[in-house]
């Protein structure tokens, strides 16, 4: 048993991880909502679940304890009297439902669900108008009527939360604390509520030190945070993560109480576009001195190092010169690191496989990583370079634009 949280690297033997198995929320995706809900296509649910179960089984076979987000949230809500009702109200606020009567009808629907995990799953699934008892006579406002009128409104009163299977993003374990992230998009901000309650009320994880909180105005997402070593993290300045959020996070990690153990924060500026969405779609660590990288990033990077400044509470910032491998070697305290290019030197394979998360790997131990099976060119190169691969079937899971690293939140790793 590994109690609590302990993440001081990206590669130490993985002991405990949090996943979320895709569920009925994917059935509430439709062509018109793909854009705002950040999907590129609609996955075939049954197959996505089969692939995800295979992912979870491979982790378990490696001796990793696999926890599920919805189960943890349900345990948290059951642990404290009143937590379930508080969660429902908070989730309703975040859903942004305009009509008062509609809100009451959704609350009734939630209250009719006995099992708390089923309640949590319902909140992820979304709510359709035809599930509600909201006759025109009960509707209190135009907003209520528009929500439920077959000809005027959308069939969905509350959207699904389909990206929640990317558990990497809404909160990030750093050391034995957590950055509860402030997500950029509306759909992903709604995910934050689940982490918030887990970290507030869960018997084991409640009371975890928070290095950042989701109510902060500056956006930061977990895919941009890589724990490179016991005292050093990397953060992407990206489409999703603003420099101001990194300033705040760094100040807290470097100076706050309780101590985080972090003494250096490397901020990597990456292009603001969907294929480079987060730092972990650009590079991930596969061994003590080895990373797999998107070749598109080589040569274009601006990097800063943030450390304690001279005066209490002050953060010193230095712009770093050098290539990505030199900067990563400096961060890890090594003479050199090896970068393995996603897709090798083939310009089409490299962009195609990066689009399908070829450089988004999850290490279960140094030199042993989970990868998507579909990225054959990259996987072949990694194997030839001596990295042991566990390949996950990935035809459907990849349609959400995230790989094994995005689909997992590591809770506990042994020291390297």
Ligand X SMILES: NC(=O)NCCC[C@H](N)C(=O)O
Name the residues that contact ligand X, by CB under 6 A: 38, 163, 166, 168-169, 188, 223, 277-278, 280-281, 400-402, 406
What is the rounded (10 degree) CA torsion for 328, 329, 334, 335? 170
Separation between Cα atoms, residue 131 and residue 133, nearest integer Å: 7
Please state, in angstroms and rounded to a whole number, the distance separating the CA atoms of residues 402 and 218: 23
Place of tokens 């319902």: 122
Least separation in angstroms between CB 102 and ligand X: 27
Among residues 148 and 172, whose Cβ is nearest to ligand X? 172
- Min dist CB 18 to ligand X, Å, is 14
Nearest to ligand X of 75, 224 (CB atom) = 224
* Omega of the bond leading into 258 within 30 degrees of 0 (cis): yes
User: For ligand X, which is the closer residue by CB, 12 or 223?
Assistant: 223
Active site residue 406: yes
115-128 exposure pattern, b = at least 16 Cβ within 10 A, e = fewer: ebbebbbbbbbbbe
Which residues does residue 144 pair with via DSSP β-bridges, in sequence order? none
Residue 401 burial (CB count, 10 A): 21
Task: Give the nearer residue to ligand X in terms of CB position, either 9 or 219.
Answer: 219
Q: Which residue is nearest to ligand X (CB)?
A: 223
CA 264 from chain centre, in angstroms, equals 22
Measured CA distances, 249 to 49, 261, 277, 339 (Å): 35, 13, 20, 28
| Minimum distance of ligand X from residue 314's CB (angstroms) | 31
CB nearer to ligand X: pick between 40 and 414: 40
Contact residues for 78 (Cβ-Cβ < 8 A; gap 6+): 84, 116
Q: How far is the CB of 415 from ligand X (least distance, A)?
A: 25
Query: Least distance (Å) from ligand X to the CB of residue 160?
Result: 13
Q: Which residues are catalytic?
A: 406
């Amino acid at each position: 048993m590994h109690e609590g949280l302990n993440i001081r690297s990206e590669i130490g033997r993985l002991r405990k991880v949090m996943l979320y198995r895709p569920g009925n929320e994917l059935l509430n995706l439709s062509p018109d909502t793909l854009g705002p809900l950040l999907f590129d296509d609609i996955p075939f649910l049954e197959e996505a679940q089969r692939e995800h179960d295979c992912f979870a089984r491979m982790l378990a076979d490696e001796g990793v304890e696999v926890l599920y987000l919805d189960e943890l949230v349900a345990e948290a809500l059951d642990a404290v009297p009143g937590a379930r009702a508080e969660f429902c109200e908070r989730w309703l606020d975040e859903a942004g439902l305009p009509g008062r009567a509609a809100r009451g009808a959704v609350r009734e629907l939630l209250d009719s669900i006995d099992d708390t995990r089923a309640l949590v799953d319902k909140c992820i699934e979304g709510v359709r108008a035809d599930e509600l008892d909201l006759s025109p006579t009960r509707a209190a406002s135009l907003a209520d009527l528009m929500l439920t009128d077959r000809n005027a409104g959308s069939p969905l009163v509350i959207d699904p939360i389909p990206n929640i299977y990317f558990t990497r993003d809404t909160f990030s374990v750093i050391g034995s604390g957590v950055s509860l992230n402030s997500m950029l998009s509306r759909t992903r901000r709604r995910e934050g509520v689940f982490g918030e309650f887990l970290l507030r009320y869960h018997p084991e994880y409640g009371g975890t030190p928070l290095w950042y909180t989701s109510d902060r105005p500056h956006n930061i997402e977990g895919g941009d945070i890589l724990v490179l070593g016991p005292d050093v993290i990397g953060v992407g300045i990206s489409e999703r993560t603003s420099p101001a959020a990194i300033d705040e996070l760094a100040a807290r990690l470097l100076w706050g109480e309780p101590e985080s153990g972090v003494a250096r924060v490397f901020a990597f500026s990456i292009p603001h576009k969907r294929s480079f969405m987060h730092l972990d779609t650009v590079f991930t660590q596969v061994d003590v001195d080895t990373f797999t990288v998107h070749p598109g990033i080589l040569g274009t990077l601006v990097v800063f190092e943030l450390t304690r400044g001279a005066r209490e509470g002050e953060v010193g910032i230095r712009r770093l010169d050098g290539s990505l491998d030199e900067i990563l070697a400096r961060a890890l305290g090594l003479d050199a690191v090896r970068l393995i290019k996603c897709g090798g030197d083939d310009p089409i394979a490299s962009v195609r496989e990066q689009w399908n998360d070829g450089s988004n790997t999850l290490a279960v131990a140094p030199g042993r990583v989970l990868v998507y099976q579909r990225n054959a060119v990259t996987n072949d190169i990694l194997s030839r370079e001596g990295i042991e691969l566990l390949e996950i079937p990935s035809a459907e899971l990849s349609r959400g634009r995230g790989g094994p690293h995005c689909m997992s939140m590591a809770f506990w790793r042994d020291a390297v």
